[in-house]
Amino acid sequence: MRDEPTGGHDAATWSPLDSDGWYAARNATTALRDALVRAGLEKDFPYLRADLNAFGHGLVELGRVSPDTAERLAELLRLALASAFGTGHDDLGHAPTTANEPKGRT
């Protein structure tokens, strides 16, 4: 207990920067922000941010949006899906995230 080794990690000094989940969430948030900027929606998602849950899993917080913004986003997704179906692509041209990568790949 008190005298047991902690393996070099102290819960009091843990940082999100030590977590793969944090970097995955941050990278996904950046990619989404960039797409929103291209679509002219960057100001419509003021609460967009990377986050971690209590288990250290990365999350992307989208926050609240107006009904008009939700409709615009839905229309963009419909157009993107229709475009992907028309070209035979089913991945919409996005890069795989670390969660989608096969095991053993770094």
Could you tell me if residue 28 is inside a domain? yes
Nearest to 96 by CA among 86, 106, 87, 88: 106
Measured in Å, how far apart are the chain's first and last C-alpha atoms? 36
Domain count, the chain: 1
Q: Where in the sequence is the domain holding 21, given as residue range(s)?
A: 11-87
Helix, strand, coil percentages in the chain from 3-state DSSP, rounded to 5: 45, 10, 45
Could you tell me if residue 55 is inside a domain? yes
Q: Which pTM does this prediction carry?
A: 0.65
Q: How far is CA 5 from CA 1, 2, 11, 34, in A?
A: 8, 8, 13, 44
For 46-57, what is each residue's pLDDT tens digit?
A: 999 999 998 889
Predicted local confidence at residue 89, as pLDDT: 55
Q: 88 vs 39, which has greater pLDDT?
A: 39
The residues that bridge with 49 in the sheet, in sequence order, are 61
For 7-48, what is each residue's pLDDT tens digit?
A: 565 666 667 677 899 999 999 999 999 999 999 999 999 999
The residues that bridge with 6 in the sheet, in sequence order, are none
> How much is the average pLDDT of 75-83?
93
